[in-house]
Amino acid sequence: MDFSATVILAGLIVALLWLFSVRNSRRYRLPPGPFALPIVGNLPMIDKNAPFKSILKFSETYGPVMTVYLGWQRTVVLVGYDAVKGALVDQADDFTGRGPLPFLVKATRGYGLGIGNGERWRQLRRFTLSTLRDFGMGRKGMEEWIQEESKHLRDRVNSFKGKSFNPTFLLSQTVSNVICCLVFGQRFDYDDAQFLRLLHVIAEVLKFGSSPRGQMFNIFPWIMDHLPGHQHTVFAQMEELREFIQVKIQEHKKTLDPSSPRDFIDCFLLRMDQEKDLPTTEFHHDNLVATVLNLFVAGTETTSSTIRYALSVLIKHPDIQEKMQHEIDTVIGQERCPNMEDRKSVPFTDAVIHEVQRFLDIVPFSLPHYALYDISFRGYTIPKNTVILPMLHSVLKEEKKWATPFSFNPQHFLDHNGNFKKNPAFMPFAAGKRACVGESLARMELFIFIVTLLQHFTFSCSGGPDTINLIPEYSSFANVPRRYELMAKQR
């Protein structure tokens, strides 16, 4: 058989398999959606640089619960507050499944809290939350660590003496040092070359995951694995992170004192020892490496990107920056470190920080969920093995829930008396049982670091406010803010 005949035959087989899967899916009452092509599904109809825009366009025709095909993968997308809350909160048990995102599966080798399901996820989540709380997450102990790190940040910003600098890696170091204290029991000096290298890798990984090539890897991993390209560099870099974590685990094993655990790794090692004879244990080396990787990456990039975006917003809107500084000076002053008790006394500052998170919309599709069994939802069936995307973008920018969803507006979080008001559609950390485990830590970091910076500095850039573009540089898996050189004038 010649080559062209082989290609035709292969094409026919693929088309038949596609038709079979589509016909098979008619057994279910699937949510509606656009017509999908064999192999590529709806991909040709989706804007690769801003996929959420295409999905929103589909929902105008097919409603808030719809089926799209990302390549072969059947995907149900939930659009708007009512649909997302209805799934993640009201039917929380049905929607705890996490999708086997190929990029994350390869990076973690299928282990860890991030993509775990069933008993693995339950055990690791319970352990991680209780251990982080034991080390002060959301409490006074953690607050003191963040306050201490904020002094290092202030001193480093001061060292630039009002000259232009790029804050990207400084903010990554600051935020990462907090998670490093929790996980590794130590902070790293801002001049530590290895620490800087690891943060560079984390930034590259997020950038790749949000690029069109990264999305193609998630849809066609078996093809991308065999094609040349940047994906191979990114996975080689991920190995650097894994090796760093493995070295830290070995160091912890040598110095472990069972009567006095120092951090997350120590606690995990003690649990591993307790359950070493239990065949069904989830406390083993592979889950430790992957869970530490989850915490290290997630606990670094999202919060530091949000603070960096906040500084861009304040340069873009100097009147907002000035109003925050006036409120902070009046309530807290410039001498002492801010604490979480202060938050209720600075409602405008709190509103701005919330609005930064809403407007940035850092993970527009959330992390993918997954149907671990057939799910009945709103009169439809979501069949087992379907990927589910709760579209956080459509909640954070829903016109029914926000007065000016596509404008930066702190009034979204203030009542007519200027008091802070909550909005149930504020879901930057997702919702339900798979919401971000580090939510209380991130809230604390955002408040203390941003307030500390504004106590001591006024931020600007050489080109002026009009040169700042708040539209993300990359927008797919994550919204990655643009990088700017900025100036911090001491107050």
- Asked whether the predicted pLDDT for residue 120 surpasses 70, the reply is yes
Distance between CA atoms of residues 346 and 259, nearest Å:
42
Instruction: Provide mean pLDDT across the span 429-446.
Output: 90
pLDDT tens digits, one per residue of 216-267: 787 778 777 777 877 788 888 888 899 999 999 999 999 999 998 888 999 9
CB contact at 8 A, 12 and 20: no
**pLDDT at position 328:** 97
Residue with more model confidence, 341 or 47? 341
Instruction: Provide mean pLDDT across the span 99-105.
Output: 81
**pLDDT at position 207:** 79
> Token pair for residue 388?
């589910």
Distance between CA atoms of residues 91 and 208, nearest Å:
33
CB contact at 8 A, 124 and 108: no
Q: What distances in angstroms separate CA 55 from CA 47, 219, 360, one per listed residue?
A: 9, 16, 18
pLDDT tens digits, one per residue of 272-322: 999 988 888 999 999 999 999 888 888 888 899 999 999 999 999 999 999
> Token pair for residue 229?
């390209």
**pLDDT at position 3:** 47
* Segment among 160-164, 213-217, 334-338 with least mean pLDDT: 213-217
**pLDDT at position 235:** 83
Number of other residues whose CB lies within 10 A of the CB of residue 71: 18
- Asked whether the predicted pLDDT for residue 7 surpasses 60, the reply is no
- 388 strand-pairing partners: 76, 369
**pLDDT at position 397:** 95
CB contact at 8 A, 39 and 50: no
CB contact at 8 A, 392 and 357: no
pLDDT band at 271 (very low <50, low <70, confident <90, very high): very high
Distance between CA atoms of residues 441 and 436, nearest Å:
10
- 41 strand-pairing partners: 37, 70
- Asked whether the predicted pLDDT for residue 106 surpasses 90, the reply is no
pLDDT tens digits, one per residue of 27-65: 678 999 999 988 888 989 988 777 888 999 999 999 999
pLDDT band at 395 (very low <50, low <70, confident <90, very high): very high
Structural domains of the chain, with CATH:
31-490 (1.10.630.10)
In the chain, the percentage of residues whose pLDDT exceeds 70 is: 93
pLDDT, mean over the chain: 88
Q: What distances in angstroms separate CA 405 from CA 410, 429, 475, one per listed residue?
A: 11, 18, 18
- Asked whether the predicted pLDDT for residue 108 surpasses 90, the reply is no
> Token pair for residue 182?
């929790």
CB contact at 8 A, 94 and 388: no
pLDDT tens digits, one per residue of 459-469: 999 988 999 99
pLDDT band at 25 (very low <50, low <70, confident <90, very high): low
* Segment among 112-126, 219-233, 350-364 with least mean pLDDT: 219-233
pLDDT band at 386 (very low <50, low <70, confident <90, very high): very high
Looking only at the bridges linking them, the beta strands covering 73-79 and 387-391 are parallel
